[in-house]
Chain A
Amino acid sequence: MLRPTLLVAALAAAFPAVADADLDALRAELKEMKSSYEARIQSLEKRLQQAEAQPAATPAPADTAPATVAPAPQPETASNHFNPDISLILQGQYANLDDIEHRHITGFFPAGHDHVAERGFSLEHTELVMSASIDPYFSGYMNLALLDAEVSIEEAWFQTTGLGNGLTLRGGRFLSGLGYQNTQHPHAWDFADNNLMYRALFGEAYGNDGLQLKWVAPTELFMEFGAEAGRGANFPGTDRNKNGAGSTVLFGHLGGDVGVSHSWRAGVSYLQTRASDRDSEIDDLNDVAAETLFSGSSKAWIADFVWKWAPEGNATEQNFKFATEYFSRKEDGDLLCVDNTADGGACTDATDRYKATQSGFYAQGVYQFMPRWRTGYRYDRLDSGSVDFGLNNAFLPVTDYAPTRHSLMLDYSPSEFSRFRLQYSQDKSMESVSENQWFVQYIHSLGSHGAHSF
């Protein structure tokens, strides 16, 4: 609201040179404005009162009701007019960790995009998300992960909305629909760090540039089937400069409710890709870092199961969520261990067949015991499985160590847009290291934050 007197006073103070005559003119003008506005407000108020009184006093007879009572339809609110929905996710943490030089998971090749937490205070990726309908036929989505001097396009895709018959086609860069956690960005995780299974499989999650076709069956039982073909440039594959598809993914999910309080989803997924000179650094038998190059096929099966409970289906007060996933991966091809004898290493540039079958799982439960407060426990276990380096068995370690980790978390969400989390983990993902890890984390989201999936 304008405060004419204040404004005039301020103006007078600011421009002492202004003549009295000018001031008087200004005053008169403002007074006129004020009275004209007051008159308009009064007339609006009167009209509002009339409008409110009308339907209340005389409920219109039945058949004329729609004509007299129904107001002009207001715009639908599902979209945000022409502006994309924009949200920004702020994440940061304090981590209390041991000083370990080469963090890795014993028995597994480090996956390319492995984001290891820093000791002490640190900022995690800041996510910028935009989404909107493109036209009546397509919608679009983008997710950028920002870190110092680094912007990565996590997702940028379009999706059809008009195909119908349960079909949707997605194109661009997207997180694959395989498994359960894969489509979740870090801010939606229930724990401060990634589970060991996804760290071993993909680093963070399996993203791809390509196409996804998905079909939902017209049944009461939820049935969803999807197929993806993509570039396959990310771990466990590599960019191979070729036409055609570098990786294929198939997945199927079933889901439903049991009574009003329980719901579930289960699925099976398959990923097939190839690598060419995939570069990984591991410690050789002399405990010296060795560079290995793998060329061959990588195939993984993933099974996932999620079960949720909320009394009467009302998750506001209390709810419980259980999620578990299992994987089995077979890699078959040639491995070159680059000569590192100069550094005292064991490798001698030998190339031979590499064959490995490895597996692992995680299981986690998260319980909201009262509004705003949740606690959760997660168990990780990987199985190094059978690994055969061929000739390189003489230079590279083969282990039967099973990496495990226990994690316990407590989080507090003042609203659905802010969350603080405390987590303790006992990490035995590296042989002969038992590390106690503490995390304090915040996750805040600004703007029109989209809905989270099941």
Chain B
Amino acid sequence: MKQFFAAVLLWLPLSVHAALNVFACEPEWGALAREIGGDDVKVYNATTAMQDPHRIEARPSLIAQTRRAGLLVCTGADLEVGWLPLLLRESGNAAVQPGRPGYFEAARHVPMLDKPARVDRSQGDVHAAGNPHIQTDPRNLARVGAALAQRLSEVDPAHAAAYQARWKDFSSRWETAITRWQQQAAPLKGMPVAVQHKSFSYLINWLGLREVATLEPKPGVEPSLGYLAEVAARLKTSPAKMVLRAAYQSPRASEWLAERADIPAVALPFTVGGAPGTDDLFGLFDVTLAELLKGAK
């Protein structure tokens, strides 16, 4: 045991990398940190696009990575409330505790939608701060990116110039892309859609779609067959063009409804890695728009 301790202690200096360890709670923030951080950061994604970010286990591997992190980049707005507090408590890493520069919440830097008038568990899995799925609007990524570039410079001042330069470069490419996406999405304006979970409020707001139905009776509550039949009946009077769901969600409910209403069920990548071709943020929105346009045909 003693030798083992000694070995670990001797090995410590080696693990202090030149690159800043960034712990990204969700893949979109990992991708954003990689754009701005380049080779100066080493990004660890705590979750994948196939996982429900509300429901993650505080696994030992995540505690170990939190321990190593110099900067935590998370959505906030209570999205990670079921697991992040435990990682912070167990990691013994003072640098990434809330209130420290090493703790970054993306949702703080964007205007929030769907703020509930009433916060009560009878309303389902509601978030008092508003809908946390902010990454489905690319303009939010620009807002978060600006703040993140600032924060990276603060946490790792040695590379501040490089962070700002990469941010500037990314930001101009991003704004061009947003203009392109908005042009592509022009035919989608005003299109009525049904959503499985309130995952796409920001996307819907950005592109001017109309959300006419949600398949979950309350946020985070699985729809029963009876409730789905109700939604299907409602769609008869106010029809939707498609049913949207995120890649990690079970296709059952949306496909059942899509068949009833004779409209396409569209799985959107939701975040980086949620579909082939979504390895970075540009790919994420390219594929998202392609899927929406395909569904709208």
Contact = CB atoms under 8 A, between A and B. Distances in A.
Nearest to B12: A218
Interface in B177-198: 178-179, 182
A454 B60 contact: yes
Contact of B168 (A62, A165, A219, A253): A62
A372 B222 contact: yes
Most buried by A among B94, B99, B112, B221: B94
Nearest to B248: A314
A312 B108 contact: no
A69 B89 contact: no
A164 interface: yes
B142 interface: yes
Interface string A127-169: 0000001001001000000000000000000010111111110
A451 B179 contact: no
Interface in A247-284: 253-257, 260, 263-265
Given A74-B129, A215-B92, A257 B111 contact: no
A71 B142 CA distance: 12
A450 B222 contact: no
Given A70-B147, A218-B15, A256-B61, A78 B50 contact: no
Contacts of B47: 313
Contacts of B90: 168, 216, 224, 453
Interface stretch (B63-71, B261-269, B278-286): B63-71
Contacts of B61: 220, 222, 255-257, 263
A163 B175 contact: no
A167 B57 CA distance: 22
Given A214-B92, A256-B64, A161 B97 contact: yes
Interface in A205-227: 214-225
Nearest to A141: B89
B92 A163 contact: yes
20 contacts: A62-B171, A70-B109, A70-B146, A71-B111, A76-B76, A78-B81, A78-B105, A136-B99, A161-B89, A163-B94, A219-B15, A220-B64, A224-B60, A265-B60, A314-B51, A314-B248, A316-B52, A415-B125, A450-B85, A451-B83
A313 B50 contact: yes
A242 B160 CA distance: 57
Contacts of A253: 60
B91 interface: yes
Given A74-B129, A164-B92, A220 B60 contact: no
- Listed from nearest, the 7 A-B pairs whose CB atoms lie closest are A255-B60, A66-B146, A164-B94, A222-B60, A222-B64, A312-B50, A78-B98
Interface in B74-95: 76-78, 81-86, 88-95
B34 interface: no
Contact of A162 (B59, B76, B94): B94
Contacts of B129: 74, 77
A61 B172 CA distance: 8
A66 to B, nearest CB: 3
B24 interface: no
Nearest to A133: B98
Nearest to A371: B222
Interface string A33-72: 0000000000000000001000110010111011001110
A59 B58 CA distance: 39
A62 B149 CA distance: 13
Given A59-B175, A78-B98, A312 B48 contact: yes
Interface residues of B, number: 74
Interface of B: 5, 8, 12, 15, 47-48, 50-52, 55, 57-61, 63-65, 67-68, 76-78, 81-86, 88-95, 97-99, 103, 105, 107-112, 121, 124-125, 128-129, 139, 142-143, 146-147, 150, 168, 171-172, 174-175, 178-179, 182, 206, 208, 220-222, 248, 250
Nearest to A306: B60
A16 interface: no
A43 B147 CA distance: 31
B75 to A, nearest CB: 10
Nearest to B130: A74
Nearest to A267: B60
Contacts of B86: 450-453
Given A66-B147, A216-B90, A417-B121, A451 B15 contact: no
Most buried by B among A260, A263, A314: A314
Contact of A77 (B78, B88, B97, B150): B78
A165 B111 CA distance: 36
B78 to A, nearest CB: 5
Most buried by B among A73, A221, A253: A73
B60 A263 contact: yes
B81 A451 contact: yes
A341 interface: no
